[in-house]
């Protein structure tokens, strides 16, 4: 059974960098059949896909256009985890952030418990 | 980018009712639609994948249909635990997109 354990601060100041980590158990970040995503949810934006990292003989990343200039998602094979960094945050980045395993045909079958991140001074 | 538009945004129904939620894609996406249920304080839970395939462990009163641009999620006989918010998601291409959600409330 796949489990995703999120960690990171719940409060970030405007203009700083939001950093979250998702530790994987029951699967490998290097799996050839999965992808590792970050999705956020807020009342104003609903469920918003931010991006993913995945391994298919080499590492790939896909990012949402809305955050492409500010986002980095990195795998950490030594710790079997992946991370999210979102630079230059504003209050509009306040949301519940989920790490999510994507399986075949882009089904989101396993979700972390979510981290509420508030951007405020 | 592909947009997903759900209707209605909210719906009131009674236990035992048959309910249908609709999702329309801004362009043809074959059968690349998944449906999720979300309860307050919880992450979304996968119900239906590839438009009509029931995820393991999901009750058979849930069903999905459609292809191209128009898709539906049907609950054949509402149970008390079904009152929640439902989302469609297109898995045809990136950026992956969700519908805005349909809140199903008790009448």
Nearest residue, CB atoms, B87 vs list A47, A98, A107:
A47
* Window 46-75 of A, Cβ < 8 Å to B: 46-49, 62, 64-65
Distances (CA, A) of A47 to A42, B12, B66, B85, B101: 7, 22, 22, 12, 9
CA distances from residue A116 to A8, A75, A93 in whole angstroms, order as listed: 10, 22, 11
Tokens representing B81 are 């635990």
pLDDT for B69 beyond 90: yes
Q: Please check whether residue A4 is in contact with residue A24, taking contact to mean a CB–CB distance below 8 angstroms.
A: yes
Q: Would an 8 Å CB–CB cutoff place A1 in contact with chain B?
A: no
**Neighboring chain A residues of B50 at a CB cutoff of 8 Å:** 105
Cβ <8 Å between B43 and A112: yes
The predicted pLDDT at position A106 comes to: 87
pLDDT at A105 over 90: no
Chain B nearest CA to A50, separation (Å): 8
SS3 B4: strand
> Cβ of A105 and B32 within 8 Å?
yes
pLDDT digits (tens, 9 = 90+) for B77-106: 999 999 999 999 999 999 999 999 999 998
CA distances from B34 to A76, B2, B18, B51 (A): 29, 14, 20, 6
Each residue of A13-66: pLDDT tens digit?
A: 999 999 999 999 999 999 999 999 999 999 999 999 999 999 999 999 999 999
pLDDT value, residue A43 = 94
pLDDT at position B73 is: 98
């Amino acid at each position: 059974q796949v489990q995703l354990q999120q960690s990171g601060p719940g409060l970030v100041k405007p203009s700083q960098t939001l950093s979250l980590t998702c530790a994987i158990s029951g699967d490998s970040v290097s799996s050839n059949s999965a992808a590792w995503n970050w999705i956020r949810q807020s009342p104003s934006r609903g469920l918003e896909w931010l991006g993913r990292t995945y391994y298919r003989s080499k590492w790939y990343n896909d990012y949402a256009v809305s955050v492409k200039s500010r986002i980095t998602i990195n795998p950490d094979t030594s710790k079997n985890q992946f991370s999210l960094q979102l630079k230059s945050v504003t209050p509009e980045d306040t949301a519940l952030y989920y790490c999510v395993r994507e399986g075949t045909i882009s089904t989101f079958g396993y979700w972390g418990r979510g981290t509420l991140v508030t951007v405020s001074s | 980018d592909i947009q997903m538009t759900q209707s209605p945004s909210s719906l009131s129904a009674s236990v035992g009712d048959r309910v249908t939620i609709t999702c329309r894609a801004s362009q043809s996406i074959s059968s690349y639609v998944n449906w999720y249920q979300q309860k307050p304080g919880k992450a979304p839970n996968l119900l239906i994948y590839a438009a009509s395939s029931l995820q393991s462990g999901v009750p058979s009163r849930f069903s999905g249909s459609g292809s191209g641009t128009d898709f539906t999620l049907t609950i054949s006989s509402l149970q008390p635990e079904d009152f929640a918010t439902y989302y469609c998601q297109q898995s045809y291409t990136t950026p992956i997109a969700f519908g805005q959600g349909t809140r199903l409330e008790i009448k």
